[in-house]
Amino acid sequence: MPKPVQSTFKMLPFLLFLFASVIAQGQDPQKAKMTPDGRGFLEYLPSGYASSSSKYPAIIFLHGSGERGTGSASDLEKVKRNGPPKYIAEGHNMCFTVNGKTECFVVLSPQTIDWSWKHDVIPFIKWAVANYKIDPDRIFVTGLSMGGEGAWLTSGLDDNNPNLLAGIAVMAGRGTLEHGINTALRKINVWAFHGDADTALGIGGGLLPITGMLNLSANPSPLWTVYPGVGHGGCWDRAYRTDHTYHNPNVYEWFLTKRRNGAPVPQPPPPISNPDPPVANAGADKTITLPTANTSFTASATADGEVSSYNWTKVSGPSVTLSNTATNTLFVSNAQSGTYVFRVVVKDNHNLQGQDDVQLTVKSSGTPNVTPTVNAGADKTILLPSSSAQFTATAKDSDGSIVSYAWTKVSGGSITMSSTTSQTLKLTQALAGTYSFKITVTDNKGATSSDVVDLVVNTTSNTNQSPVVSAGEKKYIYLPTNYASFTATALDPDGSIVSYQWTKIGGGTITMSGATTAKLSLSNAVECTYVFQVTVKDNKGATASSIVRLAVKPGITNTSARMSTEVSSADETSVEESLFEFGVGQNYPNPFSASTTIPFTLDRDQHVVLKIFNEKGIEVATILNEELSAGEHTVEVSSDKIATTGNISGTYYYKLMSGEKIVTHRMVVK
């Protein structure tokens, strides 16, 4: 089973697999991409992907709340801070060896601007399966913190029916019993990790879905790993390592042992006793005539085991350039008149080898080769929003045939090119400006010819482009705070915004002002969730709309506790416009005897202090005194923190403080 250096609770025994990790140095191969529906993601494709006919295991990595963004290329850089994208950026090739077989992952890392991955991941996976060479039985979702919760949501919600996942790896992620039960019913492999010193998400929040799986006697049984003394971020720093510092096998090697719906993993064939050496075949002898000076030879081999390496060398002949000598296909260039002998040595996984020779005869030039001709087609002009075009080249060779086409971009901005090795070049996602593209054709004797064609993309058009508008992000307020505001942002690509109109399309009574301006002001809100829509109109009559929600939650009210809610005027605007309000809720359970949980929310990253006082106003305990991030939090308070001896039953008050902000509530110890 996976063996961490720290404590691991054993849920599922399995064989200890052999391992290997190949590190590739160089430039970060991850590319910023965009789905047709506008979701940005990082794409990593292993070496050889483009030419391979195989399907690859896939990792879908879900980032945490700190890496949220719009999906732009600059925002996607934040996704590289952790997990597989971090190791890829540092040079790892995402290839691992299990049972003597090396396999490489396709890694796709989407980005969200929201505070939850709910309902986002399954549509992305379906799109990825349709557009990448992904093995549908080996799709793995993994994430950290908010992304860990996203892994549970992806596996456990109704969206995943029928099941698309072979497994999930959860790093410090929250889940529910229902998520665990549904994951168990779908036979999804699970490995979850948590640090027992995690103050951002207590260990109970991560254990809950595991408990749901165990209550159902899940098969396969989940793995639950706890790191002693490790906090929130330290969890994924350990679990995502590509070596065996903490786990052998590591999480990536563990993925390679799993299949969707509990399907059995193919096992390697039994070892062969007294294997024969491989039989090599260097291919057929060849003859070429100058000026053709390039050719290739492709070797094959039969072996009792697996072929592990090829090595080509020149045995005899004049000067020549050899490349690709460590593969089965040897490329020969700059050959001279004469006779060459090349040898291929083939080794198998038993370290046995075989060899074969092949001969190349190069004759002096006869009739000169006639260079082919090519026409890239006529220049084109398109008008945005149309952003696609294509060019079809015409080529001929009077003394032979055209064997290849190669399109390249000579100049211009960003654009997507496809079918670059065919006669017709397809272009999409063009931006305003002028592009130049070159077509190069090669004939059967190696001669080449090129031509250049231009594409002009203009923005001027008689067609009005609709405006775009955003009503802003969802907000939360806590009574007695009963006011808020939203400011719409709008633009018109070919004109100007002439009007705004806000309307309420859901929720209770509320007072609205500024409904015909960009900023909507709200007051006298009641407890409910409101839905507002803003509609903008441009100077040519085109409109666009956007909706936003305001959640009004019950406040902290208790007159007997003389509770106070104090927010400085300097903080009032930032609190209102935050996704969360500074506040503390009723502890639960209440009354309590052994322990209770106090929920609270922070409008921004700040230093907070949580203290407990008795009825006489005397401080009896300090529960929190630290920096915390914006968002929802909980803290568990045990009765022995209030008093260790004597009768501690009675009424107490807990007070959350940050700067001039103070919120107080009452609790009862039985």
DSSP classification of residue 505 = E
Which of the four pLDDT bands, split at 50, 70 and 90, describes residue 196? very high
Rounded to an integer, the average pLDDT of 584-605 is: 89
Which of the four pLDDT bands, split at 50, 70 and 90, describes residue 5? very low
CA separation for the pair 66, 63 (Å, rounded): 8
Measured at the alpha carbon of residue 395, what is the angle toward residues 389 and 398, in degrees to the nearest 5? 175
Express each pLDDT in 622-659 by its tens digit: 999 998 988 889 999 998 888 756 778 888 999 999 88
Closest alpha carbon to 12 in 23, 2, 26: 2
Q: Is 354 helix (H, G, I), strand (E, B) or coil?
A: strand
Using the predicted structure, report yes or no on whether residue 509 has a pLDDT greater than 90. yes
Give the pLDDT confidence score for residue 415 in this predicted structure: 95
Give the pLDDT confidence score for residue 270 in this predicted structure: 60
CA separation for the pair 72, 85 (Å, rounded): 16
Express each pLDDT in 63-96 by its tens digit: 999 999 999 999 999 999 999 999 999 999 999 9
Using the predicted structure, report yes or no on whether residue 573 has a pLDDT greater than 80. no
Cα dihedral 351, 357, 358, 364 sign:
positive
Q: Are 188 and 139 in contact (CB under 8 A)?
A: no
Give the pLDDT confidence score for residue 268 in this predicted structure: 59
Per-residue tokens: 504: 């309420």
CA separation for the pair 138, 241 (Å, rounded): 20
Q: Are 186 and 159 in contact (CB under 8 A)?
A: no
Give the pLDDT confidence score for residue 659 in this predicted structure: 82
362-376, 412-426, 514-528, 550-564: segment of lowest average pLDDT: 550-564
The CATH number of the structural domain formed by 583-669 is 2.60.40.1930
Q: Are 315 and 343 in contact (CB under 8 A)?
A: yes
CATH 3.40.50.1820 domain span(s) along the chain: 30-257
Rounded to an integer, the average pLDDT of 549-559 is: 72
CA separation for the pair 579, 474 (Å, rounded): 7
Using the predicted structure, report yes or no on whether residue 159 has a pLDDT greater than 80. yes
Q: Which helix (H) or strand (E) holds 151?
A: helix 146-156
CATH 2.60.40.1930 domain span(s) along the chain: 583-669
CB-CB neighbours of 594 under 10 Å: 10
Q: Letter for the amino acid at 475?
A: K
CATH 2.60.40.10 domain span(s) along the chain: 279-363, 373-459, 468-553
| pTM of the full structure | 0.42
Which of the four pLDDT bands, split at 50, 70 and 90, describes residue 269? low
**Superfamily for the 468-553 domain:** Immunoglobulins (2.60.40.10)
CA separation for the pair 459, 451 (Å, rounded): 27
Q: Is 570 helix (H, G, I), strand (E, B) or coil?
A: helix
The residue to which tokens 């809100």 are assigned: 525
Rounded to an integer, the average pLDDT of 155-165 is: 93
Rounded to an integer, the average pLDDT of 48-66 is: 95
Q: Output helix, strand, coil percentages for the chain, rounded to the nearest 5.
A: 15, 45, 45
Give the pLDDT confidence score for residue 267 in this predicted structure: 62
CA separation for the pair 181, 211 (Å, rounded): 9
What is the four-CA torsion angle of 603, 604, 606, 608, rounded to 10 degrees?
Answer: 20
Give the pLDDT confidence score for residue 272 in this predicted structure: 60
Give the pLDDT confidence score for residue 261 in this predicted structure: 86
The CATH topology of domain 373-459 is Immunoglobulin-like (2.60.40)
Q: Are 652 and 667 in contact (CB under 8 A)?
A: yes
Rounded to an integer, the average pLDDT of 615-625 is: 88
Q: Which helix (H) or strand (E) holds 239?
A: helix 232-239
Using the predicted structure, report yes or no on whether residue 356 has a pLDDT greater than 70. yes
Using the predicted structure, report yes or no on whether residue 470 has a pLDDT greater than 70. yes
CA separation for the pair 58, 258 (Å, rounded): 12
Q: Are 374 and 394 in contact (CB under 8 A)?
A: yes
Using the predicted structure, report yes or no on whether residue 574 has a pLDDT greater than 90. no
Using the predicted structure, report yes or no on whether residue 461 has a pLDDT greater than 80. no
Angstrom CA distances, 16 to 46, 98, 249, 257, stand at 26, 10, 7, 11
Give the pLDDT confidence score for residue 566 in this predicted structure: 33
> In the predicted model, what is the mean pLDDT of the chain?
87
Say if residue 283 is exposed, middle or buried (CB neighbours under 10 Å; 0-12, 13-18, 19+): middle
Express each pLDDT in 102-130 by its tens digit: 999 999 999 999 999 988 899 999 999 99
Give the pLDDT confidence score for residue 11 in this predicted structure: 36
CA separation for the pair 655, 616 (Å, rounded): 14
Per-residue tokens: 154: 């992806």
Which is higher by pLDDT, 28 or 576? 28
The CATH topology of domain 30-257 is Rossmann fold (3.40.50)
Tell me which of 2.60.40.10, 3.20.20.70, 3.40.190.10, 3.30.360.10 is the CATH number of domain 279-363: 2.60.40.10
Closest alpha carbon to 451 in 406, 420, 400: 406
Using the predicted structure, report yes or no on whether residue 376 has a pLDDT greater than 50. yes
